[in-house]
Amino acid sequence: IRSAAASLSRGNFAKISSADLSFFEKSIGNDYVKTKEIDNYTSDWTRQMKGSSECVLLPTSTEETSAILRYCAEKRIAIVVQGGNTGLVGGATPIYDEVVLSTSRINKRFHLEASSGVLTLDGGFILADADNRLAERGFMMPLDLGAKGSCQIGGCVAAGAGGIRLLRYGSLHSHLLGCTLVDGKGTILNLGGRLRKDNTSLHTAHLAIGSEGQLGVVTSVTMGVVPRPQSILSAMLAVSSYSDCIRLLSLARSKLGEILSSFEVIDGDTMKCVERHLPLKNVFEGEHNFYLLIETHGSNGDHDAEKLNGFVEEALGAELAVDGVAANSESERAHMWRLREESPLAAAKDGYIYKFDVSLPLEHFYRLTEETREKLKGRARVYCYGHLGDGNSHLNVTTDGEDEELKKELSPFVYNWVVSHGGSISAEHGIGQLKRDYRSLGKSEEESALIRSLKDVFDPHRILCPYKMIHSQE
Ligand code: MLT
Ligand code: ZN
């Protein structure tokens, strides 16, 4: 997977010297400048993307981050910014010898203003930890994703993370009110604020969403959080055809209305892959072509159950679903979610993996999987799971070993197919190094030029995250 980025030559950046290491040690403490045993920082979650680095820096505050960046800008030292290292496009993985700047220790400040539901927290806070703290006060993080136990809120903003409840609560653009961004010159930028409404200027804080470390390091986030739902119900449906899945989405929208919070799909091959590689069992007997996981968030358990049961009954009565199971306990609900959230893990265990994360108009959503399967018949296994309610397909292809030929063919095929069918080559995972060569597909030259100009404002020496979404030599 490294090939796209590695095909670029090393930028004209300085090599780390012992004087640089001494400066870092003096700035943030000896223990937090790591030069050995840094494999966890130089490879990604799949361990398929591997890079190298001379050192990993773990600052503890915005000010320490600023001192590091100011120094690196002056010395032209390249940096890669890393949060929980759960990204799926190699955006946080160094390529040559970039210094890894990890935000893991910037995780002290957590302030919730309960009357307005506005939370300010340090960028290194782990999403699940933040959510657990909010639970004590009756609130919830509006975003949730499989990586919640490790991903950090600053990284979520920088990655533009979507997740499993976007259908109900909206994207990070609906929640982010402000952030602190330390730019590529070391300037501390306090962007936006803590007001729910402030329309006095450009919404600069939103530039951080999906910025992948290109503009700066997100060291603090201010966002709206939501009341924790008093009732959360889940159900799964087994479905024979993709067209019935789409009819069920319309039915769910009309029957469940505002309480519909997730509408996820797992295709039949993915479910078999999950059962093959993980100690998890399908909730249905027998094999089906599609499984839908539907969740509601509401404030009245009886009403919500009546609505969800009514929806499942109608789905079965109209023969749109062949079987349906409602979770009757927290452990049954957790089991359903494990089937979906551990689908990526099962696919990763299935062999060498080629991951895709695309947005498609619903009429084309599953045709991509079918056509890819047809094209790769006998050469690879093809899985599809994802956020059907958002039109976001996670197509995963696996082979027994790394297959260079297939790799060369597959990405152009998928990405051209997606763009020519009105989709986006990255729905929520970003560009990173994995999709670098395809980043302008579907974008105008004017927009690409604007993005490069913005990069020059925030990071004029182009030391931040080179060889990725915006390349240092463009
Ligand atoms: C998911 O929805 O499970 C995540 O985006 C991870 C993945 O796509 O593999
Ligand atoms: Zn996803």
Q: What is the atom index within ligand 1 of the atom nearest the CA of 341?
A: 3
| Whether residue 85 is found in the same domain as residue 148 | no
Q: Which of 270, 343, 356 to mutate to test the pocket of ligand 1 (most atoms within 8 A of CB)?
A: 343
Question: For residue 59, which of 169, 208, 296, 220 has the smallest C-alpha distance?
Answer: 220
List, chain by chain if needed, residues with CB within 6 Å of any ligand 1 atom.
88, 146, 344, 357, 394
CA of 357 to the centre of ligand 2 (A): 7
The answer to whether residues 217 and 127 belong to one domain is yes
Counting beta carbons within 10 angstroms of the beta carbon of residue 224, is it exposed (0 to 12), middle (13 to 18) or buried (19 or more)? middle
Distance CA 166, CA 173 (A): 11
Which is nearest to 232 in space by CA: 329, 107, 96, 118? 329
DSSP assignments along 198-215, one per residue: --SS--GGGGGTT-TTSS
Q: Do 64 and 135 sit in the same domain of this protein? A: no
Domain CATH number, residue 210? 3.30.465.10
The pLDDT assigned to 183 comes to: 98
Pocket test for ligand 1, best of 148, 164, 394, 428 (most atoms within 8 A of CB): 394
- Can you tell me which atom of ligand 1 is nearest the CA of 429? 5
pLDDT at 196 over 80: yes
How far apart CA 162 and CA 158 sit, in angstroms, is 11
Domain CATH code at residue 270: 3.30.70.2190
In the prediction, which pLDDT does 6 show?
A: 52
Banded model confidence at residue 3, pLDDT cuts 50, 70, 90: very low
- Is residue 288 located within the same domain as residue 195? no
Task: Tell me the per-residue pLDDT of 197-223, one tens digit each, with 9 for 90 and over.
Answer: 999 999 999 999 999 999 999 999 999
Write down which residue in 343, 377, 409 finishes a domain. Answer: 343
- Closest ligand to Cα 390: 2
Q: Is the pLDDT of residue 24 over 80?
A: yes
Q: Which residue has the tokens 């479910």?
A: 271
Confidence class of residue 8 from pLDDT cuts 50, 70 and 90?
A: confident
Under a CB-based contact definition with an 8 Å cutoff, are residues 213 and 430 in contact?
A: no
pLDDT digits (tens, 9 = 90+) for 259-310: 999 999 999 999 999 999 999 999 999 999 999 999 999 999 999 999 999 9
pLDDT at 4: 47
Domain limits at 149?
A: 110-227
CATH of the domain at 410: 3.30.70.2740
- Asked whether residue 87 falls in the same domain as residue 117, the answer is no
pLDDT, tens only, 26-67: 999 999 999 999 999 999 988 889 999 999 999 999 999 999
Residue-wise pLDDT for 86-140, tens only, equals: 999 999 999 999 999 999 999 999 999 999 999 999 999 999 999 999 999 999 9
Q: Which atom of ligand 1 is nearest to the CA of 340?
A: 3
Atom of ligand 1 nearest to the CA of 347: 9
Which residue, judged by its Cα, is nearest atom 9 of ligand 1? 344
In a domain, 415, yes or no: yes
Residue 286 within any structural domain of the chain: yes
Residues 396-441: tens digit of each pLDDT: 999 999 999 999 999 999 999 999 999 999 999 999 999 999 998 8
User: Could you tell me the pLDDT band of residue 2, with boundaries at 50, 70 and 90?
Assistant: very low
Residues 329 and 372 in one domain: no
Provide the 10 A C-beta neighbour count for residue 331: 8
Per-residue pLDDT tens over the stretch 318-347 = 999 999 999 999 999 999 999 999 999 999
Kindly tell me if the per-residue pLDDT of 14 is higher than 50: yes
What's the mean per-residue pLDDT of the chain?
A: 96
* Amino acid code (one letter) for 232: I
C-alpha distances out from residue 355 to 38, 92, 163, 423, 434, Å: 25, 16, 16, 16, 9
Specify if 172 maps to a domain.
yes
pLDDT at 152 over 80: yes
Query: What is the Å distance from ligand 1's center to 143 Cα?
Result: 14
**Pair 164, 264: CB distance under 8 Å:** yes
Q: Tokens 């696996």, residue?
A: 398
Which residue is it, tokens 């062999």?
351
Burial of 75 (0-12, 13-18, 19+ CB in 10 A): middle
Q: Quick check: is 473 in a domain?
A: no
Do the Cβ atoms of 296 and 304 come closer than 8 Å? yes
Residue environment code for 159-197, b if the CB has 16+ CB neighbours within 10 A, otherwise e: bbbbbbbbbbbebbeebbbbbbbbbbbbebbebbebeee
Q: Which ligand is nearest to the CA of 395?
A: 1
Tally the domains of the chain. Answer: 4
For the CA of 428, the closest atom of ligand 1 is: 5
Q: 346 C-alpha to center of ligand 2: Å?
A: 14
Q: List the CATH number of the domain containing 87.
A: 3.30.43.10
Query: Is 469 inside any structural domain?
Result: no
Shared-domain flag, residues 67 and 124: no
CB atoms within 10 A of CB 199: 6
Q: Is residue 410 part of a domain?
A: yes
Residue where one domain finishes, among candidates 200, 227, 254: 227
Q: Which of 343, 366, 398 is the last residue of a domain?
A: 343
Residues 244 and 332 in one domain: yes
Task: Give 87 Cα–ligand 1 centroid separation in angstroms.
Answer: 10
Q: Examine residue 471 and state whether it is found in any structural domain, yes or no.
A: no
State whether residue 250 is helix, strand or coil. Answer: helix
Measured in Å, residue 235 CA sits from the centre of ligand 1 at 20
pLDDT digits (tens, 9 = 90+) for 362-371: 999 999 999 9
CB contact set of 393 (below 8 Å; sequence gap of 6+): 356, 357, 358, 359, 360, 365, 366, 368, 369, 384, 386, 427
* Confidence at residue 301, expressed as pLDDT on a 0 to 100 scale: 96
User: Ligand 1 centroid to 75 CA: how many Å?
Assistant: 38
Question: Does residue 235 share a domain with residue 213?
Answer: no
- 337 lies in the same domain as 248: yes
Tell me whether strands 99-102 and 56-57 are parallel, antiparallel or unpaired.
parallel
Is 17 within the bounds of a domain?
yes
The answer to whether residues 387 and 292 belong to one domain is no
Contacts of residue 347, defined as CB under 8 A and 6 or more positions apart, other chains included, come to: 270, 273, 353, 383, 396, 398
**Strand order across the beta sheet in which 56-57 lies:** 33-34, 56-57, 99-102, 79-82
Cα(86)–Cα(109) distance, integer angstroms: 22
Residue nearest to atom 7 of ligand 1 (CA): 344
Query: From CA 328, how far away is CA 343, in angstroms rounded?
Result: 22
Mark whether 196 and 114 lie in a shared domain: yes
Residue 394 Cα to ligand 1 midpoint, Å, equals 6
The more confident residue out of 126 and 472 is 126
Quote the pLDDT of residue 1.
Answer: 36
What atom in ligand 1 is closest to the CA of residue 164?
Answer: 2
